[in-house]
Amino acid sequence: MKGIKEHIKTGQYATVYLLYGSETYLRRLYTSKLKAGALAGGDEMNLSVFSGKDIDWNEVRNLAETMPFFAEHRVIVLENTGAFKNACDFADEIAGLPDSAVLIFNETEVDKRSRMFKAVKEHGYVCEMNGLGESDLSIWVAQLLNKDGKKISKDDLRLFLERVGTDMENVENEIEKLVCYIGDREVVTKEDILTVTVEQISGKIFAMTDALGARNKKLALELYHDLLAVREKPMTVLYLMVRQCNMILQAAEMNRQGLDRSTIASKAGMPPFAVGKCLSQAKNFTKDQLLHLITYGTELEEQIKTGRIDERIAVELFLLTAVGA
C-alpha cells in the first residue's frame, strides 16, 4: 500500500494494478484512490468500469488503446472478473498496454499460478490486502474516533475489536453507532461498547476458546447457548472451534520457528490482529491436546454429516472434551 501511495504522490502510475485479498474495505479504498489520482480531477469520460465475469475483453483492450480525452490517463476499473482464477487470454495483452492506460483489477480471489497473475506481477503492480496489523488497526480506530472528537482507552479499544472483529467495514459501522450513542460525551466506555456493538461470531469463538483454555465448562456452554439463541447453527460453531484450534496450533508452531506475526498471519491465512490472540491462547494447550481436539472435531463433523449424531450434542461433547483436555 505504501507503494501505491508513492505512485499517487509522484503521478507515476503502472499500466495495470491488481488489488486482492480478504479486506474489502482496503481494496475499495485504494481502488478509489488510484482512480482519483490517475484521473487527476479530470472528466470521467476517461473512466470505464467493468464488473463480473462476463466481460468483453476486446472492448477492454480497445479502450486501453484509445488515447485519453484531454488527459494523461485513461482509467479502467475491473472488479471480481474471475480472470485470476480461470484461464484468460487477456494475460497476453498486459505487456503491450500503452503508458496512457491505467487498469485497476479489484479481486476477492486469485490463483498466483494463473497467467494473469504472473503477467500483472511482471508488468504491473500487485498488492495483497488482508487487513491491518494489530497496531495499525488500533491506530486507525483511534483516528476514526478522533475525527468526531472521541477518545478510548487501550483496554476498551481491545475489547471493542475483540467484539466486532477486524473486518474494517464492520468496524467503521460499529464506530458510527458508538459515536451516535454517546452524543456529547468525549470518552467511549466499556459499558458503551457492551451496550451498542454487535458481537461477531468470531468474538464469541475467541471467548469460548479462552473459556476452554481456562477449563471453565460453565462459561463455555453459556457462550455456546448464546450463539444458539441468535440462531447460529451448531455445525457452524463446531467448524469454527476446530478451525480456531488449528489456527492456534499453526501460530504456535510458526512462532516457535521464529517467524514474526506478520509472516504468521500471511502463511496461516488469518487477520494479523488475530495472531496475538492465538499465541495467547496457545499457552493454555499443549500441542498434543490441540491435535487431539482437531482430530476429534473432524470426526464429529463427519458423524453429523452422516446422521450418526445430533449436531447440538456433538458440539457439547466437543466442548466438554476440550475442557478436560
| Residue pLDDT tens, the chain, 325 long | 789 999 999 999 999 999 998 888 999 999 999 999 999 877 788 999 999 989 999 999 999 999 998 889 999 999 999 999 988 999 999 999 999 999 999 998 899 999 999 999 999 999 998 877 777 888 999 999 999 999 999 999 988 988 887 788 889 999 999 999 999 999 999 999 999 987 777 777 778 888 887 788 888 888 888 888 878 889 988 998 898 899 999 999 999 999 988 888 878 877 766 788 889 889 989 999 999 999 999 999 999 999 999 999 999 999 989 887 5
How far is 261 from 254, CA to CA, in rounded Å?
9
Q: What is the pLDDT of residue 294?
A: 95
How far is 77 from 104, CA to CA, in rounded Å?
5
**Neighbouring residues of 282: CB distance < 8 A, sequence distance ≥ 6:** 248, 249, 251, 252, 255, 290
How far is 128 from 282, CA to CA, in rounded Å?
27
Question: What is the reported pTM?
Answer: 0.65
Q: What is the pLDDT of residue 325?
A: 58
How far is 212 from 184, CA to CA, in rounded Å?
40
Q: What is the pLDDT of residue 202?
A: 73
Q: What is the pLDDT of residue 67?
A: 92
Do residues 245 and 229 touch, judged by C-beta distance below 8 A? no
Phi and psi (nearest 5°) for 159? Answer: -60, -45
Question: How is residue 272 written as a grid cell?
Answer: 494479523
Q: What is the pLDDT of residue 109?
A: 86
